[in-house]
Amino acid sequence: MLYKFLRARPFVIKQERPKPVFIRPFPKKPMGAKILSRVSAWFGIKKQRDFWRLIAIAACLHVALVLIIYLVGRVHLLSDTFDEHGIGISFAIDSASYRIEASKLAGLLGNWDIAGWIALGSQFHVKLYSICFATFGRVLGFNILSNEPLNLFYYLITLSLVFALTKEVFDRRSALVAMSIVGVWPSFLLHTTQMLRDPLFIAALLLLFLILVRWLTRTLSLHLGAIAGTIGGFACLFLWLSRGDMWEVIFVSVLVGCLFFIIRQIREQRLLAGNMIGVALLLAIALFMPRLVPAYRQTTESLTFKNAQPTKLEGQRASVWSQIPIRITLLRHNFIAAYPQAGSNIDTEVELVGIKDIIRYFPRAVLIGLMSPFPNMWFVAGANVGLKGRILSGAEALIMYLFIALAALTVWRRRAQLSVWMLSVIILVGATALGYVVVNISTLYRMRYAFWMLVIILGTDALVNLRCLSFSRLEGAAKDSPSNL
């Protein structure tokens, strides 16, 4: 009976329905995170933990150095080197006058006199520093601590551009090494703590070089080409506002980039439409920038020259092709007049008048632009920096001699790579132009940093490859040793 009952009415096991699981939607990225992600991807630094680790170390190093310099100046420990505001009066004397001017501008901003701040004819970098003074000066005072946010931004963006430029031309390992070398370069690190226009100029020039290199290494779409040309235009704008007197060098660098882009198209036998849009846009901006944007530039009026006759100069003014020689003559004479008693002057007795003098001086200009200070100045006490400053500059020059040799080796090893040749030509153009014009080594040092960084970038590739080659040879010798046979 029980058996029949069980067969007639089997047990039914009710299955419970699974409870619905509510999955929370993935939170959307804020707009700032999206912009940062796109910018880091454009620079080639997205998901680079070692890069961001180096950036964090560099930021801590810079902030610590600024704090130490301020404290040293505050307690008058090195009164002949730093003043009470942290200004390097021995190696960056221009910062003292810039600080006073920025303080006045900060007062205008504090009184909400925006029109007066705009109307005051100060240099562009001084107005940027005045914004920092107006923001942080009431708490920290008008010193290098208040300017540290802007200087730190310049420093970190320069390192990021060195990394991106080296990675674009070579590889990631070389990029990390080049970034580390530039980050701890002593004189550059010191100058980035001061109120100078050079950090802005260096960052903008490296950004322009990165745009020029990407014309040779990438095939851009139409909109990316337009974006690249626009970014290059902003770089030209900052270069014009920071150092208008070097505009000829910047424009020639753009022309060099255009020339190598044409060579790339001829070699590949195709037209790169997106790249061409960027090239055309940047070239147009560089061509019309001096006419559209006002900036400080030295004029060619009412100047006297030691070894020049007015009739000769007037005859040269009538010729369009003689504008560059006249510009070189003018700027060199102004540098000679501006630093008459400086202890680090070189060839102040040489006035370049006419194309013949410029051609005759060319080898000397290349040497001065690339390799000065020369060994005869390394162990002679300077008028402002003293013996220690000269020894430091001599040590840096000696290291640069090594990097110049390594850069030459890189050019030979990668002689089929257009970007390497373009950077080499830009280095020669920039260094030679500075050697023609700048007679004061201290000023030349600051104006040459961007071109020295290109030398470091080229030399780092040979340095990294020589190191890898030596390790591979050691491993091969260890495998072939009798103990392993």
Banded pLDDT at 168 (limits 50, 70, 90): very high
Helices (H), 243-309: 247-268, 273-292
d(CA 192, CA 202): 11
Which is more confident, 404 or 340?
Answer: 404
Banded pLDDT at 149 (limits 50, 70, 90): very high
94 exposure class (CB count in 10 Å sphere: 0-12, 13-18, 19+): middle
Q: How far lies 163's CA from each of 172, 341, 383, in Å? A: 8, 40, 36
Which is more confident, 327 or 215?
Answer: 215
Where are any strands of DSSP class E within 186-328? none
Phi, psi of 339 (to 5 degrees): -125, 65
Question: Is 347 in contact with 53 (CB distance < 8 Å)?
Answer: no
Which strand (E) or helix (H) includes residue 119? Answer: helix 114-119
Least confident segment among 20-29, 83-92, 200-209: 20-29
Supply the pLDDT for residue 181: 94
Residue 329 has pLDDT above 70, yes or no: yes
Nearest to 151 by CA among 177, 176, 175, 131: 131
440, β-bridge pairs? 345
Which is more confident, 372 or 474?
Answer: 372
Least confident segment among 4-8, 197-201, 279-283, 348-352: 4-8
Percent pLDDT > 90 in the chain is 34
Residue 433 has pLDDT above 60, yes or no: yes
Supply the pLDDT for residue 10: 52
Q: What is the average pLDDT score of the chain?
A: 80
d(CA 376, CA 378): 6
Nearest to 369 by CA among 449, 296, 254: 449
Residue 209 has pLDDT above 70, yes or no: yes
| Residue 168: how many other CB atoms lie within 10 Å | 20
Where are any strands of DSSP class E within 155-295? none
DSSP per-residue string spanning 89-145: TTT-THHHHHHHHHHHHHHHHHTT-HHHHHHS---HHHHHHHHHHHHHHHHH-SSTT
Residue 314 has pLDDT above 50, yes or no: no
Out of 41-55, 137-151, 290-304, give the one with best mean pLDDT: 137-151
Supply the pLDDT for residue 343: 64
Supply the pLDDT for residue 63: 94
Which region, left, alpha or beta, applies to residue 177 given φ > 0 means left and ψ of -120 to 50 means alpha? alpha
Supply the pLDDT for residue 346: 80
Structure tokens at 44: 């080639």
Least confident segment among 231-245, 405-419, 460-474: 460-474
Which is more confident, 314 or 338?
Answer: 338
In this prediction, residues 431-451 reach a mean pLDDT of: 86
Which region, left, alpha or beta, applies to residue 18 given φ > 0 means left and ψ of -120 to 50 means alpha? beta
Banded pLDDT at 327 (limits 50, 70, 90): confident
* Domain extents in the chain: 306-474
Residue 297 has pLDDT above 60, yes or no: no
Residues 398-419: tens digit of each pLDDT: 999 999 999 999 999 998 899 9
In this prediction, residues 174-178 reach a mean pLDDT of: 92
d(CA 310, CA 257): 37
d(CA 127, CA 147): 12
Supply the pLDDT for residue 347: 76
Query: pTM for the whole thing?
Result: 0.83
Question: Is 145 in contact with 86 (CB distance < 8 Å)?
Answer: yes
Supply the pLDDT for residue 67: 94
In this prediction, residues 141-146 reach a mean pLDDT of: 89
Q: 345: which DSSP letter?
A: B
Query: Which single residue is written with the structure tokens 């061509």?
Result: 287
Least confident segment among 72-76, 140-144, 389-393, 457-461: 389-393
Which is more confident, 415 or 298?
Answer: 415
386, β-bridge pairs? 382
Question: Is 371 in contact with 401 (CB distance < 8 Å)?
Answer: yes
Structure tokens at 311: 């009739």
274 exposure class (CB count in 10 Å sphere: 0-12, 13-18, 19+): buried
Measured between alpha carbons, how far apart are the two ends of the chain, in Å?
Answer: 87
| Residue 453: how many other CB atoms lie within 10 Å | 25
d(CA 357, CA 153): 42
Supply the pLDDT for residue 335: 76
Banded pLDDT at 49 (limits 50, 70, 90): confident
Which is more confident, 148 or 113?
Answer: 148
Structure tokens at 277: 């849009």
